[in-house]
Amino acid sequence: MKPLAILVLAGLCGFAMSDGALAGQSNTGCGLGSIIFQGQEGLLSQTLAATFNGIWGNQTIGITFGTSNCEKATSFTANEKINRFVYDNMDNLAMDISKGSGEYLTTLAVLMDTPVEQRAALYHTLQANFSLIYPSPDVTHLDVLSNIEKVLHQSS
């Protein structure tokens, strides 16, 4: 019975490592594991890639800097740090945008990766479009982020 069990186990491992096991499926996310096991869609390969990413913690760095097959957030609402900051500081940020300066506005610029030499223009653009960014007292943080994104795309 042992030779049959070994043969079945070997067959399952071979199938799991083959490209046909879960063809077209990649569940590993981004990180060095996804680079090392790129193109290998078998169950074992995906498991090893995901485990490697988790053990080394390289997905966080990759997402932050857009490396290791990771992409930086392209939308403000997709950027969790910006999303959380605006959610937590809606009123203070509104006051800073309305006056065109302040620590909350500076923090937003930093989170948006705005170079120091471009911040004055950013502050001016946001201040000039305050009524579009905060159109009503009951605007949500997601609306504010979306409105900022629209204003910045229109001004560029």
70, part of any domain = no
pLDDT band at 36 (very low <50, low <70, confident <90, very high): confident
User: Which residue range forms the structural domain that includes residue 33?
Assistant: 2-65
41 in the same domain as 82? no
Global pTM value: 0.53
The mean predicted confidence, pLDDT, of the chain is 76
pLDDT digit string, tens, across residues 79-89: 788 889 999 99
Model pLDDT for residues 99-111, shown as the tens digit of each residue: 999 999 999 999 9
Which residues neighbour 83 within 8 Å (Cβ) at sequence distance 6 or greater?
Answer: 76, 77, 141, 142, 145
In a domain, 22, yes or no: yes
